[in-house]
């Protein structure tokens, strides 16, 4: 969700480059079936934690920040080889819009959205198999809740307290990318927006209005 902490993987909630709109409505993103333990190769579960994040940001198809996000995510990592791992990360939370272009403006004829519209967001991603070395002394617990983190993002997309979660647990990370990613946003009468990789369903819908 915060582009800043995803600088290592050039994304996510925020690597959001425009993706052609899909034909189906946003509600049809099957993220729950896609983001689960079976999405990774079989291995030993080495990390299974829940993290709360507040004051993150979300980018749309035409601008860096269209909303602020608060969410809880479950991070699960399996070790599939001596120095290779795979992660599944599931998000559930809420967003609050920042006035300007709507998140789907690039393919919806320049839509706009008002300030302060609140809605829900859910989704997640599956990483590729990446190379890394487990820290001998991880910077957070490997089971249960690791607490709440305030990314302190502003409307320009600057997030002074954001970080890549994998840095808590790994050294020498290489090849970390996203094999599947997608989120769906619901804002009642203001609409729904699906943001997903092209092979995962693509972008569809929009959140507009005041």
CA distance 93 to 74: 12
Tokens of 100: 């300007």
59 contacts 69 by C-beta, under 8 angstroms: no
Q: What are residue 131's phi and psi, to 5 degrees?
A: -95, 140
- Kindly give the confidence (pLDDT) of every residue in the chain, 210 residues in length, as a single tens digit, with 9 standing for 90 and above: 543 333 333 333 333 333 433 333 444 688 999 999 899 999 999 999 999 999 999 999 999 999 999 999 999 999 999 999 999 999 999 999 999 999 999 988 889 999 999 999 999 999 999 999 999 999 999 999 999 999 999 999 999 999 999 999 999 999 999 999 999 999 999 999 999 999 999 999 999 999
Q: In sequence order, which residues have a C-beta less than 8 Å from that of residue 150 and are 6 or more positions away?
A: 53, 54, 55, 161
3-class SS of residue 134 = strand
**Can you give the pTM of this predicted structure?**
0.87
Closest CA to 5 of 115, 189, 104, 149: 149
Q: Are strands 118-127 and 178-186 parallel, antiparallel or unpaired?
A: antiparallel
For residues 146-161, b (16+ Cβ closer than 10 Å) or e, as one string?
beebebebeeebebee
26 contacts 192 by C-beta, under 8 angstroms: yes
Side-chain-side CA neighbours of residue 19 (13 Å) = 24
Closest CA to 122 of 18, 210, 33: 33
């Amino acid at each position: 969700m915060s582009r800043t902490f995803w600088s290592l993987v050039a994304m996510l909630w925020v690597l959001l480059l425009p993706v052609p709109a899909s034909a189906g409505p946003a509600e049809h993103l099957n993220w729950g079936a896609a983001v689960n333990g079976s999405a990774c190769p079989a291995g030993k579960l080495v990390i299974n934690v829940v993290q709360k994040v507040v004051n993150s940001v979300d980018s749309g198809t035409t601008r860096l920040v269209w909303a602020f996000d608060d969410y809880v995510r479950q991070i699960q990592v399996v070790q599939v080889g001596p120095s290779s791992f795979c992660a599944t990360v599931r998000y559930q939370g809420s967003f609050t819009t920042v006035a300007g272009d709507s998140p789907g403006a690039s393919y919806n004829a320049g839509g706009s959205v008002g300030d302060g519209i609140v809605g829900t967001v859910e989704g997640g991603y599956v990483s590729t198999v990446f190379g890394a070395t487990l820290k001998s002394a991880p910077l957070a617990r490997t089971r249960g809740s690791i607490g709440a983190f305030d990314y302190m993002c502003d409307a320009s997309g600057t997030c002074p307290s954001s970080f890549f979660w994998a840095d808590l647990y790994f050294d020498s990370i290489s090849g970390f990318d996203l094999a599947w990613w997608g989120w769906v946003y619901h804002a009642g009468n203001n609409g729904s927006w699906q943001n997903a990789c092209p092979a995962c369903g693509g972008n569809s819908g929009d959140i507009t209005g005041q």
